[in-house]
Structure 1
Amino acid sequence: MRILVVGAGATGGFFGARLHEAGRDVTFLVRPARAEVLRRRGLRITGVGPDTVVTPNLVTASEVDGPYDLVLLTVKATALTPALQDLKPAVGTRTTIVPFLNGMAHMDTLNDAYGREVVLGGVVRVITTLSDDGDIVQLAPLADIAVGEQDGARSERVERVAAVLGGAGFDFAVSGDILTAMWHKWIFISTLGALNTLARGSVGEAVAVPGGADLGARIAAEGAAVAAAAGHPVPQSTLDGVVAFTSRPGSTDTASLYRDLVAGRATEVEQILGDLTARASASGVATPLLDLATLQLRIHENRRAE
């Protein structure tokens, strides 16, 4: 199975490298500047466990030579529109697209562009970032992928995807309700991102000051209410896990949303928090803490645009 990984950043680069190491036929679709870095340094993963360096197969948009069997879409939501243009030649009649973007809005975009019969749902969990040299730094051992048909069916193509993604150096599962799994991840990342943004610090820094210990729980409750209104209620055990993660004393954990904010980069505010709060408003669900975090990040984006 020919696999095209769209993007070789902190997420796509990590999982693509693991697939490459496992002997899968992997090519990365990247921008010219990223291609130059990877050709010069290799695709490097540091942090947890031994350092890894692989020599990846790379193409830029003008070099895509025809359809691939599986497209793993790993760009940030802010880069989705140009990525869809770049990967057009890679999508044929037998191509399956699995997106690993945050939020849910991208599913509507992909379904409109290619049809639900081409697009699987996907959830990826990994805590990584890019170093100044362009290397992938894994910050914690967590690394897993779940995929599934949007209607929950156990289809033949899901089995084909499972055969190539399974056993490749990370945990993998097929979900019978992938859209709900995507919603639950959305609630987790929005909770962590909003907490970091409002506290202007890590989980541990928030927990260490008066009034910070229950901030994660209060934000998570707002997100869970939105998910329930959308028909994807968060089980208590899952919600307890989100609260535990966002209330650990001494934790240095931060969301990529917050790391982008601190670095002065563009953030996924609209895809992660803006869309969530808009759905909350449409459903009559009050989300004052999520609204405030969204406002702060929008001010950041306006300042960047000036």
Structure 2
Amino acid sequence: MRILIYGAGAMGLYLSARLSQAGHSVSLKARGAPLERAESGVPITVTNGDESQQISGVKVIAELDPDSETYDLAVITTKAWQVAEAAAETAPVLGEEGRLLTIQNGVDAPAQAAQHVPADRVLAGTAVVITERTGPLAVALTGAEAHLVLGPWEPSADQSDAGVYAQQLTTALRRAGILAQRNEDILTAVWKKLALVASYGGVGALSGAPVGITRAVPQTKALVRNAMLEVFNVGNTRGATLQEQDLEDLMGTYTQKFGESTTASLQRDLAAGRPSELREQIGAVVAHARELGVDVPIFETIYASQLPRELQARAAVAQS
């Protein structure tokens, strides 16, 4: 497959390396990153524990040119607030049957992509992996390889073609060492992921404490659970089918699978004074809830309390 990875952050570097390692033609669009154009391919270093690999063959490109190359698949790995711009720039270089995959936290990225690409060519996904960009062409992986769940955002008229393409993509990801699964109810999957990251991340931002503390204190543990229920209420009103077992799954992840020092990227960005995905995660729950007439007092409180920090961080970036 000819694959474009849009964004040279940790996730972009990781996916570029693994897909190139599996034999795909991979181009990495470096959004303002300090990377030189390298059409012949560059090595990306992937470290997991004490093991490091240099994976070659990824082309680094500064601009997208439909007259030069088109792609079977484009994966947007930017922050959620950058998806609309990335989709607009990516749309012209998708091949005739090319698909665009969004994997951001939140629930609005696929719809934003569908404003620039036909909706039946948009794939929505959730990604679970812990990565850190440690250099311009280096990424560190903590723990297991990525787990991706993906599916069509809007069913196409020809379901057989859509199914064949989804299966090809899932197979390509698995050959790259990535645990990939198809999910025909991707709406439910993205709301379930949001329920996890926005609840523990929001409560973490509010309390300033890592997971090991928030789950050990009964009051904050209950707050996380109740926040998940708020997301479930909004998501199900929107058309998802989240159930009691989904809640138990998420609480099991929060209480048993996260390390003691775990914090969400939202919490870390807010604490460091960096622009965060506050609007795309916490704000999205609030916005959808208001539109649908669903009460979300926990998320209303988190959003109102963290918005001053977010606005201050964005103002500082704008002035720099």
- Alpha carbons of 1:255 and 1:142: their partners in 2 closer, same or farther (altered >3 Å)? farther
**Across the two proteins, how many residue pairs are aligned to each other?**
306
- Alpha carbons of 1:178 and 1:48: their partners in 2 closer, same or farther (altered >3 Å)? farther
2:175 aligned counterpart, secondary structure: coil
Q: CA deviation at 1:214?
A: 2.1
Match of 1:199 in 2: 207
Q: CA deviation at 1:101?
A: 1.6
Deviation digits for residues 131-179 of structure 1 (CA, Å, limit 9, x no counterpart): 3777323233252112222346452322332332232111111112122
Match of 2:147 in 1: 144
- 1:59 is aligned to 2:61: yes
Partner Cα distance (1:159, 1:260) in 2: 36
Stretches of structure 2 lacking an aligned partner (at least 5 in a row): none
Q: Mean alpha-carbon deviation: is it higher for 15-24 or for 239-248?
A: 239-248
Asked if the contact 2:45/2:139 (under 8 Å) is kept, the reply is: yes
Match of 2:310 in 1: 301
1:114 aligned counterpart, secondary structure: coil
- 1:98 is aligned to 2:92: no
Partner Cα distance (2:59, 2:148) in 1: 22
Match of 1:235 in 2: 243
Q: CA deviation at 1:210?
A: 5.8
Match of 2:122 in 1: 119
Match of 1:262 in 2: 271
Deviation digits for residues 227-260 of structure 1 (CA, Å, limit 9, x no counterpart): 1221213222221122233345962221111121
What is the identity, as a one-letter code, of the residue corresponding to 2:80? A
2:119 aligned counterpart, secondary structure: coil
Q: CA deviation at 1:283?
A: 2.2
Q: CA deviation at 1:269?
A: 1.0
Match of 1:160 in 2: 168
Match of 1:183 in 2: 191
TM-score of the pair, normalised by structure 2: 0.85
Match of 2:44 in 1: 43
- Identity fraction in percent: 26
Q: How does 1:206-285 map to 2 (within 5 A)?
A: 206-209=214-217, 211-248=219-256, 251-285=260-294
Deviation digits for residues 51-99 of structure 1 (CA, Å, limit 9, x no counterpart): 2322332111256723111111111112223323432442232221111
What is the identity, as a one-letter code, of the residue corresponding to 2:288? R
1:285 aligned counterpart, secondary structure: coil
Asked if the contact 2:8/2:33 (under 8 Å) is kept, the reply is: no
- Alpha carbons of 1:134 and 1:255: their partners in 2 closer, same or farther (altered >3 Å)? farther
Q: CA deviation at 1:273?
A: 1.2
Asked if the contact 2:87/2:117 (under 8 Å) is kept, the reply is: no
Partner Cα distance (1:172, 1:100) in 2: 12
Partner Cα distance (1:142, 1:99) in 2: 18
The answer to which structure has the higher strand fraction is 2
Q: Kindly report the root-mean-square deviation, in angstroms, between the aligned alpha carbons of the 2 structures.
A: 2.7
Q: How does 1:127-138 map to 2 (within 5 A)?
A: 127-131=130-134, 135-138=138-141
- Alpha carbons of 1:257 and 1:200: their partners in 2 closer, same or farther (altered >3 Å)? same
Stretches of structure 1 lacking an aligned partner (at least 5 in a row): none
Partner Cα distance (2:295, 2:145) in 1: 32
